[in-house]
Structure 1
Amino acid sequence: MSEDILGDDLTEMLRNHPPDVVCTAFAQAFFQGAVRMFQRDTEMRNIVLTDAEARDKATRHFCNRALRQVRTPSGAPPPA
């Protein structure tokens, strides 16, 4: 997960709170990061800005991925 999206504060929040609490904060950070990341790619930026369903699916996917990343000790295999 990009450090642009996962700052220290968000990482700690993901580590210490349940997903239903942190995914809203993650969604906001993800949206801002995605717009910055795709500022040169007009097609991707338009998808992020206009397709709410695609944005929601991507946000859920990356939120779950971020949760696994911050909650799994380094070097440990991912949970089954």
Structure 2
Amino acid sequence: MSDQEAAVAELERVGFRVVRRTSALVFLVHPEYPGLLVRVGTVFVVAERDGVEQARQRLETLDVETLLGRAKEQRTEPME
């Protein structure tokens, strides 16, 4: 299993579902995180909301809890 496949499997275990695949990327969403899109590439896992990056981790060191925690923190920061 590749690092990318392992990352997708880990995200699916916590409730994410795949919404799109390309040759290099897998896009996932989760019903409890409306507006959050997680993109799993060949090197990085990126969480974004409305096209704005919220969190990024390398595939080989993916920690889903930390990734989602950072994405939640970004959402609650006040707008300037």
Q: With structure 2 as the length reference, what TM-score do the two structures score?
A: 0.29
Q: With structure 1 as the length reference, what TM-score do the two structures score?
A: 0.29
The structure with the largest strand share of the pair is 2
Q: Larger relative contact order (C-alpha < 8 A, sep ≥ 6)?
A: 1
**Larger Rg, first or second structure (1 or 2):** 1
